[in-house]
Amino acid sequence: MDPDMDAVFRALADPTRRSILDALFDHDGQTVQALCNRSPEMTRFGVMKHLAVLEAANLVTTKRVGRTKQHFLNPVPIGEIADRWISKYAQPFTRGMVDLRHDLERGPSRANTA
């Protein structure tokens, strides 16, 4: 197994980190402080450690802006584990595709775009 993939899996194992990804999904480019305000039960240092793990897994990228640091969600690694590992097991996606095919075969031009 790709060591990068392992880092992604381990990064996703923590609920706080998944919550951070959700927050960035909701509003990209947030600073450390903004992310800290979302989790008052943890200190800034705890949040920073989680951010470091997410960065190491390449799930978030950063950009220094003055004395602040903006954080951006990078969904690519999630897509990779979905394509290269999860798709092997997850029929639901296959089911979704089969449903889509079914729709398309009945009338391609009217297929649902979602």
Partner DNA sequence: TTGACATGTGACTAATTGGTCACATATTAT
Partner DNA sequence: ATAATATGTGACCAATTAGTCACATGTCAA
110 touches which of a second copy, DNA, none (CB within 5 to 8 A by kind)? none
> Can you tell me the distance from the alpha carbon of 1 to that of 70, in angstroms, rounded to the nearest whole number?
31
Q: Which one of residues 25, 27, 46, 84 is an interface residue with DNA (CB under 7 A)?
A: 46
Residue 73 C-beta: closest distance to a second copy, Å? 8
In terms of Cα–Cα distance, which of 26, 102, 29, 13 is closest to 65?
A: 29
- The DSSP annotation for 65-99 comes to ETTEEEEEE--HHHHHHIIIIIHHH-HHHHHHHHH
Say whether residue 68 binds DNA (CB under 7 A).
Answer: yes
Sites of contact with DNA (CB under 7 A) = 10, 13-14, 16, 31-33, 41-46, 48-50, 53, 62, 64, 66-69
